[in-house]
């Protein structure tokens, strides 16, 4: 076999297989690009096969409760679209997206203080696709992505697939810590590292559920501006607030240094796979070219369906309906945690889909997961949200999809697992009972009453 395309890493893997240390069953292994080493199934994705079993209460995946969307709204939009623009919906489209939809996107972003031109919006196949396109445009192997810790799991997958050096910046109950950001920039610059952008989900973050305060948004923007670092603001949940609107988007006060990512997956339905990027002019042009190279054009069908829905439905009231549903489910989760697991600590989100809980420091959420599934409950281990192995005593709990009754039952089952683990460790511990060891403070262990 020719060694063309074989790297030392590949050769070592191949030789290990030949020597009996392991066997690679993929005959094309030696031909893959080096960057494929960063491709791996996320812990969230790996859970879906098990968590989708009907007897399992899944508190793992962030699936919107699309059943709350009246079917007649979608059916009516479909019928009108096919009647009025059917041939256009079934045809190729623009690499930038349908102009009418981009006009609606401006209206949506205006709810969070953003003023922009329709020409600066690029429609993508979900905001995940926009995240990949931005990463492809900016990241060379070894370049640094600064990411809040914990951070969105699939963003970690995307950054790893382009061989980025992911450096986490810690959070607390008010979001990303500005001083920690300054320290990280100074340390990495001193080491000669190229920092390409800061990735953040500042509003109802995934997974922590916390929101970056307005004062910190301004401070972080100034830090990045003075250091020539782009900000990638990912905002899937900004309109899903419960008690009061969150601070306005970072993009509302910074046009040239922020790329804003949005999506219809949380406020309408993820099955349409429509998101967008709002970018400075020069970056926008490259995003359009990258979009065309990847998918030729985002789905005309999905875009025109959403356009018709936005033209005719009371979409703001529908978002308000979603808010009420998710608020009730958040309350059910917080109440169940207080009842069944008062020894833990957790965040109290004012919006979004997630609660971030902290276990006693000697418990391992990833190792505990198989036992939880055996008890017919699933969650996402905290390690999924870090690139450096942190988060072992954290879990992300999603309240968006199960009903309040199922949420309460899921937390009850989870308490059986956690309390069983604590009892087991206490039994075999020769020192202080582990359940009495105080938890660390900060985002990994916020006090129970954090807002």
Domains 43-67+317-425 and 91-312 share a fold: no
Q: Per-residue pLDDT for 51 more than 70?
A: no
236 φ/ψ angles, rounded to the nearest 5 degrees? -75, -25
The pLDDT of residue 2 is 40
The pLDDT of residue 330 is 98
The architecture in CATH of the region 43-67+317-425 reads: Alpha-Beta Complex (3.90)
Q: Per-residue pLDDT for 431 more than 60?
A: no
Q: Per-residue pLDDT for 296 more than 80?
A: yes
Fold type of domain 91-312? 3.40.640
Q: Per-residue pLDDT for 440 more than 50?
A: no
- The string of pLDDT tens digits covering residues 115-147 is 999 999 999 999 999 999 999 999 999 999 999
- The string of pLDDT tens digits covering residues 30-39 is 888 887 776 6
The pLDDT of residue 358 is 97
Q: Which of 25-39, 354-368, 420-434 has the lowest mean pLDDT?
A: 420-434
Indicate the domain borders of the chain: 43-67+317-425, 91-312
Q: Per-residue pLDDT for 424 more than 90?
A: no
Q: Per-residue pLDDT for 304 more than 80?
A: yes
- The string of pLDDT tens digits covering residues 309-326 is 999 999 999 999 999 999
- The string of pLDDT tens digits covering residues 93-106 is 999 999 999 999 99
- Do 322 and 267 meet the contact criterion of CB atoms below 8 Å apart? yes
80 φ/ψ angles, rounded to the nearest 5 degrees? -70, -40
Q: Per-residue pLDDT for 176 more than 90?
A: yes
174 φ/ψ angles, rounded to the nearest 5 degrees? -105, 10
pLDDT tier for residue 426 given thresholds of 50, 70 and 90: confident
Residues 407-425 have a mean pLDDT of 93
Residues 256-263 have a mean pLDDT of 98
Q: What's the whole-model pTM score?
A: 0.86
Q: Which of 20-29, 173-182, 234-243, 426-435 has the lowest mean pLDDT?
A: 426-435
pLDDT tier for residue 448 given thresholds of 50, 70 and 90: very low
pLDDT tier for residue 43 given thresholds of 50, 70 and 90: low
């Amino acid at each position: 076999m020719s060694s063309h395309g074989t790297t030392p890493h590949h050769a070592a893997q191949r030789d290990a297989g030949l020597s009996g240390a392991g066997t690679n069953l993929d005959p094309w292994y030696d031909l893959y690009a080096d960057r494929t080493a960063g491709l791996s199934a996320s812990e969230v994705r790996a859970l879906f096969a098990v968590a989708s079993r009907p007897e399992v209460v899944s508190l793992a995946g962030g699936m919107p409760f699309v059943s709350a969307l009246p079917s007649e709204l979608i059916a009516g939009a479909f019928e009108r679209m096919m009647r009025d623009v059917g041939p256009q919906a079934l045809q190729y489209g623009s690499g930038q997206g349908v102009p009418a939809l981009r006009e609606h996107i401006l209206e949506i972003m205006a709810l969070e203080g953003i003023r922009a031109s329709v020409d600066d919006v690029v429609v993508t196949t979900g905001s995940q696709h926009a995240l990949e396109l931005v990463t492809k445009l900016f990241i060379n192997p070894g370049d640094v992505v600064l990411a809040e810790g914990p951070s969105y799991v699939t963003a970690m997958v995307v950054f790893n697939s382009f061989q980025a050096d992911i450096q986490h910046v810690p959070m607390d109950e008010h979001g990303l810590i500005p001083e920690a950001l300054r320290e990280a920039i100074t340390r990495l610059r001193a080491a000669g590292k190229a920092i390409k952008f800061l990735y953040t989900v500042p509003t109802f973050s995934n997974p922590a559920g916390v929101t970056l305060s307005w004062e910190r948004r301004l401070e972080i923007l100034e830090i990045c501006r003075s250091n020539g670092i782009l900000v990638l603001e990912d905002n899937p949940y900004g309109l899903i607030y419960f008690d009061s609107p969150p601070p306005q988007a970072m993009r509302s006060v910074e046009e040239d240094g922020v790329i804003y990512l949005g999506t219809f997956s949380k406020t309408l339905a993820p099955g349409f796979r429509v998101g967008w990027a709002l970018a400075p002019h020069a970056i926008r042009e490259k995003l359009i070219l990258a979009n065309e190279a990847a998918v030729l054009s985002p789905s005309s069908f999905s875009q025109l369906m959403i356009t018709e829905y936005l033209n005719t439905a009371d979409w703001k009231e529908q978002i308000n309906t979603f808010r009420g549903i998710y608020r009730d489910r958040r309350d059910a989760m917080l109440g169940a945690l207080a009842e069944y697991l008062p020894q833990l600590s957790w965040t109290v989100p004012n919006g979004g889909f997630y609660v971030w809980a902290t276990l006693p420091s000697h418990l391992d959420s990833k190792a505990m997961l198989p036992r939880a599934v055996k008890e017919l409950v699933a969650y996402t281990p905290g390690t999924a949200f870090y690139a450096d192995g942190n988060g072992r005593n954290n879990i992300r709990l999603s309240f968006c999809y199960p009903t309040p009754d199922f949420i309460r039952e899921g937390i009850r089952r989870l308490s059986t697992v956690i309390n069983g683990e604590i009892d087991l460790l206490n039994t075999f511990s020769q020192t202080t009972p582990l359940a009495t060891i105080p938890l660390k403070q900060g985002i990994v262990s916020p006090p129970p009453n954090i807002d």
